[in-house]
Amino acid sequence: MSTADRETVTGVPPGIAAAREELTPMLSQYAELCAAHEDAIVLFQVGDFYEAFCEAAEAVARVCEVTLTERSDSTGDYPMAGIPIDNAASYLEALLDAGYRVAIGDQVEDAEAASGLVDRAVTEVITPGTVVEDDLLESGTTNYVAAVTREGAAGDDRSLDPTLGLAAVDVATGECLVTSGDPGTVAEELDRIAPAEVVVGPGIDDPGRDDDDSPVGFDPAAGDPDRTVHGHDPAVFERLAAIDRLEPYVPAPERRFDGDAELRAAGAVLAYAEYTQGDDGPLEYVSRVRRYDPRDRLRLDAAAQRSLELFENRGLGASDTLFDVLDSTNCALGRRCLERWIRRPLVDAEAIRSRHDAVGELADRTLAREGIADALATAYDLERLVGRVSRGRADARDLRSLHATLAVVPELKATLAAGGEEAGDDEADDTGNAGPRTDHLRALSGRLDELAEVRELIDSAIATDPPQEITEGGVIRAGFDDDLDALRSTEREGREWIADLEASERERTGIDSLSVGHNQVHGYYIEVTDANLDRVPDDYRRRQTLKNSERYYTPALKEREEEIVGAAERADALEYELFVEVRDRVAEETERVQALADALAEVDTLASLASVAVANDYVRPEVVDDPDAGIEIEGGRHPVVERTEDSFVPNDADLPRGSIAVITGPNMSGKSTYMRAVALSVVLAQVGSFVPAQAARLPVLSRLFTRVGASDDIAGGQSTFMREMSELTEILHDAGSDSLVLLDEIGRGTATTDGRAIARAAAEFVHDELGATTLFATHYHDLTDLAAERERAFNLHFTATREDGAVTFLHRVVPGASSSSYGVEVAELAGVPAPVVERSRDLVAETDSDAESDSDAGTGLEDDDAPDAEDVSLREFLAEEEAENPPAIEPVDDPAAGSDPDSGVESPPDLGDDLPPSVAAELRDLDLARTTPIEALNALHDLQSRLENDDG
Ligand SMILES: Nc1ncnc2c1ncn2[C@@H]1O[C@H](COP(=O)(O)OP(=O)(O)OP(=O)(O)O)[C@@H](O)[C@H]1O
């Protein structure tokens, strides 16, 4: 949607603006709301529908697929489109998906009570990052809106590397995060927070603002092109405005935040959140404004999150992610907490061990895990519930859900306390309960606030199965309020009196067919058929004449009726008042409920990690708090791949701090999987989880970098190679001895000579200058020389075998470098004709010997520096194997084999020793080091068809 399209639809639609002077009062009111919400489509309540008019109506009709109608009044005809209020969610979703923000213009006074035009106001602006409607929110996810701004007032001298402030708020739960850093750090944090919407301050790129001169090299949508990015009133980004805004949320905001940029980002994001919630002042439930330093967590940038497939799988099985493997949570609270933990693994060894303690205890206690699962399965989304309570949006059912969730707390505490019995602990107290064994669970159990008063209040006040409407009675329990009970009993007695009336009047009048009824228009009546009219008593007053009967009332009936109606109306109104009072009292405990929500979330997450550890046979890693400690993993597995591979082959990793492992091996042999498995174990351990291995001894690292796979960034307009190089640049700038770096086939996206040179130089730099622990997978075989040249470099490789002519990858990592020419074997195994394979081999041998003499000349390497003697070359390995097991696929080297006259395919020419020069040249140029089997096959297939067509 272009900016121009949006302009005619949001703000005052041109069709309405043109008739502004003569509009009816209602459309004038609509125009006013539109004018006050320039960036949104205003949906205007008219009875049971939300309506839009003119150009806005056309957009609503198109996007929501509803009929475009017309409103005609004395001033003209206006296109109109409406969506039913009762069923608005899916239409709102469609509008959000189409990129619109929607301002809800509700009727804010009772239409019946209004004299003249009903008052309307925008009660909420629904935007991608601030939706609070449950129907529109995915459960268990966090939906943030973020604000980004730069240090210094707008127009200040713009340095190239300014400090940016970032603040994000989840409007549904009230969580608010604030941080700052250089553009790179903030981009990384933005990727972790993954907001649906970013509001940018002056001086940051806003795609909708043409005059912007791209002052900072920072694109708020870089990590996710679906993110909505836009500007907002620049005034809210100003320092003083921000301080004013923040004061109700945090005392002394200037002291609380680190610098101007944080202060202004926090002020702006809250201003925007308030604006979307109807601008009613501070959002009371946003009580947890937390400032954090990005350095307090293991830093994983977007590239690392993507390539390690933490939340999204780039391949086919979209659900195969680390998050899916770890997610055995029982409620939305736990799910969101787990997501936060994976996005922000810890860097404090004590805190990590403390989580491991808790996971270990729960892993040992099957009954406790089951108890937690049972209890939390009935828990509702407490954070969102309490958010609605304090926004004054909760209905009686929400309060009941809150009650049901609070009710699981004592159960949960008892489950955790039953630790002694189950774990066979001797320290059990008199009741047999030792309480949780670990400090972590004990502290957590202490944070499980039962909130008994709140629970009792809700239970005594709110009906057990209340209706959704809170204005029509039925929400307050009998016995809660004497006045209400009196009114309800008046109402009940009146109805009983009326229920008895039919019998008593029949008796009094002797009319057996007399009946008592009720309708909306006339209220209660006594109906007598025409045949009995002569027996009607004097006190009957005629109410209505029907075809064969008359309807009457009596003064006594009228009196009762008024009593009933009056009592019912007053009771409904009183119920509403009482309900709001109860809701307000619950809202006063928002902070405690939020703290409880945090504790429940943590219990759920720890139990989930424990269940996953048990189910998948993970082990507790030993966390070594020593800056020189390396990574030691015995029998490590890839947590995601092991779920889909029937027989996953575990591998060891022994990576001293600052070492660089150069990993070689055929395509598909398992290099990437191995590197990621190592990185994922580091992430898992720092999340607090156990790891998929037999044993692991891990350091605490602070950053993890990846350059894995060729990730095309078409949306970002960068070529693969550019992308690769900019990721590499970041690593070379920022990695250090506290980092783990994965480099997968660096330099692959350009000409071999350049690629090889870049890969070599990068590896040397990482080793010599950065001291980062590095796994470097490469097809450039000469990189294995690094092991001989550098103290902390060593080689690892993967091998393959063949059985019955089929190639089998062993997926086992072994020390040393692999053969460089496996590509030809793979081509041969795939059935490429023998002459082509043979010729390829010769060419490879020629290239190898050239390269060897070149490199010897260049580096002065001795023979001793050649690849490790224990290396098992795939070619040699396969040659031996082949002697014993001839391939199932026969090479097509028999001239007669293809000469089937019916096939129309000529047999290949006998090539003898000489290939046509152009084919030979192409074969020579074929860069096997950077050719995948499929590419090799395609190339060979091409060459073959040219030979067959004899036009080589
Ligand atoms: N340890 C293992 N045990 C069992 N299967 C494995 C193992 N490692 C990898 N695999 C399987 O082999 C496939 C290829 O692995 P991977 O992508 O790691 O190979 P690669 O050597 O990096 O290949 P390329 O050089 O083409 O990138 C994986 O998708 C997985 O199915």
Residue 701 confidence (pLDDT): 96
Ligand 1 site-directed mutation target among 641, 651, 813, 928, most atoms within 8 Å of CB: 641
Residue 329 has pLDDT above 60, yes or no: yes
Q: What pLDDT is recorded for position 873?
A: 40
Q: What is the pLDDT of residue 914?
A: 64
| Helices and strands counted in the chain (H then E) | 33, 27
pLDDT digits (tens, 9 = 90+) for 452-493: 999 999 999 999 999 988 888 889 999 999 999 999 999 999
Task: Report d(CA 501, CA 503) in Å as an integer.
Answer: 5
For residue 608, pLDDT over 90 is answered with yes
Domains of the chain and any CATH numbers: 3-126 (3.40.1170.10), 136-296 (3.30.420.110), 327-451+589-616 (1.10.1420.10), 482-585 (1.10.1420.10), 622-819 (3.40.50.300), 821-857+877-952 (no CATH)
Beta bridge partners, 631, equal 655
On whether 181 is known to bind a ligand per the annotation, the reply is no
pLDDT per residue as tens digits for the range 344-365: 999 999 999 999 999 999 999 9
ipTM above 0.95, yes or no: yes
Is the pLDDT at 15 greater than 90, yes or no? no
652 in contact with ligand 1, CB cutoff 6 A: no
- Tell me, what's the pLDDT at 425? 47
Instruction: Check residue 404 and give its pLDDT.
Output: 94
pTM exceeding the 0.90 threshold for the entire prediction: no
**Least confident among 266-275, 350-359, 875-884:** 875-884
Answer whether 648 contacts ligand 1 (Cβ < 6 A).
Answer: yes
CA 80 – CA 89 distance, rounded (Å)? 19
- The residue among 81, 96, 100, 122 whose CA lies nearest residue 6 is 100
Please say whether the beta carbons of 622 and 630 come within 8 A: no
Of 693, 688, 698, 686, nearest to 619 (Cα)? Answer: 693
Q: Tokens 């949960």 map to which residue?
A: 412
Pairwise pLDDT comparison (43 vs 143), residue with the higher score: 43
Confidence of residue 217 (pLDDT cuts 50, 70, 90): low
* 282 band by pLDDT with thresholds 50, 70 and 90: confident
432 alpha carbon – ligand 1 mean position (Å): 51
Mean pLDDT of 601-615: 97
Distance (Å, whole) CA 269 – CA 445: 34
The reply to whether ligand 1 has any atom less than 6 angstroms from the CB of 641 is yes
Of 764, 818, 755, nearest in space to 786 by CA: 764
Ligand-binding annotation for 669, yes or no, is yes
Report the 3 state secondary structure along 613-663.
HHHHCCECCEEECCCCCCEEEEEECCCCHHHHCCCCCCEEEEECCCCEEEE
Q: How far is the CA of 878 from the centre of ligand 1 (A)?
A: 19
Is 670 marked within a binding site? yes
Residue 215's pLDDT band (cuts 50, 70, 90)? low
Flag whether 143 is marked binding.
Answer: no
pLDDT 10s digits, 676-731? 999 999 999 999 999 999 999 999 999 999 987 554 444 444 567 777 777 788 88
Lowest-confidence segment of 153-167, 372-386, 585-599 by average pLDDT: 153-167
Summarize pLDDT for 890-938 with one digit per residue, the tens: 333 333 333 333 333 333 344 445 677 777 777 777 766 666 666 677 7
Confidence of residue 872 (pLDDT cuts 50, 70, 90): very low
Band (pLDDT 50/70/90 cuts) for residue 640 is very high
Q: Is the CB of 653 under 6 A from ligand 1?
A: no
Find where tokens 């009482």 sit.
578
Question: Binning pLDDT at 50, 70 and 90, where does residue 673 land?
Answer: very high
